[in-house]
Chains A and B, each alone.
Chain A
Amino acid sequence: MRIVKSLGWLSLLAGTALMASAVGSMAKDSYTIGISNTVQGNGWREEMVCAMKAEALASGKVTKLNIAHRNTDAAGQLEDIRNLISAGVDAIVVNPSDPSGVNAALKEATDKGIVVVAVDQGVTEPSAYVISNNQEEYGYLGAKWLFTQMGGKGDVVYMRGAAGASADSDRDKGFKKALAEFPDVKVVHEVYTGWQQDQAKQQILDFIATGTPFNGIWTSGIDNVIVDALQESQTPLVPVVGADNAGFVGQLSSVEGLQGAAVTNPGSIGGAGVTLALQILDGKKPADQTVLVEPQIWDNTTDEGKAKLKAAADPSLNPEWPVSISIPDWTTYTKEQIVACKGPAD
């Protein structure tokens, strides 16, 4: 009798042990991920955050997202990242406000075993992974198309992104590379838009008001307001390069006489960042610390480009959202999920 009783205890113990181990292996499928972003109210960044939420939900491996999403500087992002460390997240996906300004906190995170993935733009901290659109190629593709369209000569308005952001300086390298190939193209006006719609529109209206002639406009993705400004001020339309934002892609098909090209820069890279972080957490590390997604160019002057623009156009999206709402091999959510913009705990 006694033996039976103790056997019963034993089996109970074994059962608990089994359950405990089952819980242990289940824990591997329930990560918490922290997100840090420092530009709020910009369509591209909003899509990026929604892609992060949607991917976390679609992956089924994320139980909680801690999101620090506000307008702030590098010092503020240091604070946000450290708060995410305090929250005990397994991975941090960050759109860095500066290539080196947040390194200190990123290092503290990786020292604690937290996986750090920078999306959209690079960081110089070597322990962090980077998944980004190839920004140099982005700048080069668009600029080369524009200069060819201008007949290889003339004056170009160069509307950059935010001063000091590494996406901006990488695009500048690509732009300068194309500029070197077209010696007769001159930059007549160079300005930082800060990737703000209202600011960029004001800047181009101010420039048009000076009466200085120009033959083309390169924008760093603040594009539809530039076309609006040209139309409103009844300035002759010049070729415009922008990104694959829904509003601009629509304009390329609908605005009479507009020649333009959209270079893809998917905001869904945020979702890809979550995927990469989950892969690393599951032990699948990429071959390189930096993973680049190559951009495409869709122009409305060739049939091939027109077909791509037509296929990509999506009037149901917010005009400031990029139309490439997913990245093959990197994102698994549906359009409904990213548009709903809901994370695992929402």
Chain B
Amino acid sequence: MTSFIRRQSWVSGLFALLVVLFILTRIIQPGYGSGDFGSLARAALPYAFAVAAQTVVVIAGGIDLSVASLMALTSVIAASMMNSASEEYALFVVPFVLAVGFLVGALNGLLIVVTRVPDIVVTLATLFILQGAALMVLEAPGGAAAEWLKASIVGTVAIPGIPESVTAWIPKALVVLLVCLGLVWIPLKRSALGLSIYAIGSSELAAFRSGVSVARTRIAAYAIGGLFGAMGGLSLTMSTGIGAPIPGPYLLASVAAVVLGGVTLGGGKGGLVGPIVAVFILRLMRTDLTLLAIDPNVTSIVEGTVMVAVVMLGAFLAMRERRP
């Protein structure tokens, strides 16, 4: 157990920080309860998927600047397809949109592998391409979402045999998030592909010499990133009931949560749990700043400062540990 905690020290530290923030929130606003936690989970949803998309790519040693644009594109595709369509039609829309995300991600990877142009340049180009494509699908925010999709992230999960006072703290949005991420991430992490993704991020040459197909792994990493991005786009449509063609603030937020979540930007190190906890920390921090009625212009300064401070503290602690 202690060795487990030591191995996961960064993630444990983040969890502790999250708990401290929750206690702080309760002190600031004694009425902060399960309903508010549900709001937090819903607010975290698009950010969490964006950061999951970024995490996979960063672990593989890349970076995906197109993630917010992909979310906008998949969101408008979903919203325009579901516009005045039947509830059942959404059953087709969801897998279709996920496939679009997967393919766009794969295309990103393919372009990087084939052209040998750096990741940052290729995904910067696709950022603009996808943004334009999103505006072609919907010129202005609009469209609709199926009622059952919208309802799937509202309210709490009722589990027979467990008292309501407990289930009130299990918002559907959190369950949807954990199930969607878990279904992709857990099998991936245990597969040979998952190992290869870590390997090429750690050292491309060493991975290649060990017989890992670097090109195929890179394409797969971007494709899985695209799949998570599409989930993020869907979550936007599910929470707002519309699709908006102009990308939201998810690109920089995803990079911020990846860093705060303990994933090395150079690749090869980190997991998904850290960045997801980091998303909740960042969202809860904004809640606290709103609850405290802090000048909104100061809010983003505080957010940035706390982030740098946490990452610096982490690096400092890691340095001390390495010393004999």
Residues of chain A having any CB pair with chain B under 8 Å:
40, 64-76, 78-80, 82-88, 98, 100-104, 163-164, 169, 345-346
Contact = CB atoms under 8 A, between A and B. Distances in A.
Contacts of B42: 78-79, 82
Interface string B27-55: 00101100010010011001000000000
B249 A76 contact: yes
Contact of A100 (B43, B46, B242, B297): B242
Nearest to B38: A82
B296 A67 contact: yes
Contacts of A67: 293, 295-296
B248 interface: yes
Interface of B: 29, 31-32, 36, 39, 42-43, 46, 139-142, 150, 154, 236, 239-242, 244-246, 248-249, 283, 286-287, 290-291, 293, 295-297, 299-300
Given A71-B249, A85-B39, A163 B139 contact: yes
> Chain A at the B interface: mostly helix, strand, loop or mixed?
mixed
Contacts of A163: 139-141, 245-246
Given A85-B39, A86-B291, A164-B141, A104 B239 contact: yes
Contacts of A80: 290
A80 B296 CA distance: 11
Contacts of A75: 43, 46, 236, 239-240, 248
Nearest to B68: A73
A95 B141 CA distance: 16
A334 to B, nearest CB: 22
A64 B240 CA distance: 29
B244 A73 contact: yes
B254 to A, nearest CB: 14
Nearest to B293: A66
A74 B242 contact: yes
B296 A70 contact: yes
A70 B241 CA distance: 21
Contacts of A103: 241
Contacts of B32: 86
Nearest to A74: B240
Give the interface centre of B29, B140, B240, B242 by most chain A CB atoms within 10 Å.
Answer: B240
Given A88-B29, A164-B140, A164-B244, A82 B39 contact: yes
